[in-house]
């Protein structure tokens, strides 16, 4: 099918637009979708984006109960609907599901900017504690990531602030 805007290129994107309560569906090519993206930025909610990205009813590790933040009570479903976290701990609770999302949004999953002051001085210490904990719990995937983080930190002494 050809793009409904330019009529030249093949349509690759389905675009749903709601104007005055009327739903319009358009088949667009990449270029026109991008143009539209600039116009529509305000109306495009991150929640829609998230809903399309991850599985609904995300379960805990091993098909356990629904993922839920132990601190603020937000479930992963809530997060998908709202597109916003409930508190700082949500990140830890939803970590596994979030990393692919962060990769999609930012093209990266690793902060390389300014480190929080109180953290950077004993950052390595904290990471080593976490690593020990992960090994104790036999969470080896997590442990490997932590080990990499610590290694990164040791290799870049100049960046420790």
Partner 1 sequence: MTLGDLWTGTGEWLKGSGPNSDIVMSSRIRLARNLKKYPFPHWADAEQLEAVISDFKSAYGRIDFFRDALFLRMGELDSLEKQMLIERHLVSREHALRPEHKAVLISDREVISIMVNEEDHLRVQVLQSGFNLQDTWKLAGRIDGELEQFLDFAYSPEVGYLTCCPTNIGTGLRASCMVHLPALVMTKQAGRIIQAIGKLGMTTRGLFGEGTESYGNFFQISNQVTLGNSEEEMVDNLGRIIRQIIEQENAARSAIYANQRLLLEDRITRSLEELKSAKLISTEEALNFLSTIRLGADLGIIKGVDRDMLNGLFIRIQPAHLQKKEGKQLSAEERDAVRAEFISEKFNLKDQS
Q: Which residues lie near partner 1 (CB under 8 A)?
A: 34-35, 37-38, 41-42, 46, 71-72, 74, 82-88, 91-92, 98, 101-102, 105-119, 123, 126-127, 145, 149
- At its nearest, how many Å lie between partner 1 and the CB of residue 102? 6
Kindly give the residue spans of alpha helices, DSSP state H, lying in 14-158: 30-40, 46-53, 76-82, 90-93, 95-106, 117-121, 123-136, 140-155
- Given the complex with partner 1, which of 11 and 69 has the nearer CB atom? 69
Which distant-in-sequence residues (6+ apart) come within 8 Å of 130 by Cβ?
A: 146
- At its nearest, how many Å lie between partner 1 and the CB of residue 62? 23
CA-CA distance, 158 to 10, in Å (whole number)? 50
- At its nearest, how many Å lie between partner 1 and the CB of residue 24? 19
68 and 45 Cβ atoms separated by less than 8 Å: no
- Given the complex with partner 1, which of 110 and 137 has the nearer CB atom? 110
The three-class DSSP label of residue 59 is: strand
Place of tokens 């330019």: 6
- At its nearest, how many Å lie between partner 1 and the CB of residue 28? 15
Place of tokens 């933040």: 69
């Amino acid at each position: 099918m050809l793009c409904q805007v330019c009529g030249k290129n093949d349509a690759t994107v389905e675009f749903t637009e709601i104007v005055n309560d009327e739903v319009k569906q358009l088949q667009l090519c990449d270029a026109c979708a991008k143009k539209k993206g600039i116009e529509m930025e305000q109306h495009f909610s991150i929640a829609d984006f998230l809903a399309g990205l991850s599985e609904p009813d995300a379960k805990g590790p091993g098909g356990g109960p629904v993922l839920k933040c132990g601190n603020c009570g937000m479930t992963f479903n809530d997060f998908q609907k709202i597109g916003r976290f409930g508190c700082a701990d949500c990140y830890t609770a939803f970590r596994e599901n979030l990393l692919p999302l962060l990769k999609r949004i930012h093209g990266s999953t690793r902060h390389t900017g300014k480190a929080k002051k109180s953290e950077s001085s004993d950052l390595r210490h904290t990471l080593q504690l976490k690593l020990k904990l992960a090994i104790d719990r036999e969470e080896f995937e997590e442990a490997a990531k932590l080990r990499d983080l610590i290694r990164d930190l040791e290799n870049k002494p100049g960046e420790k602030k």
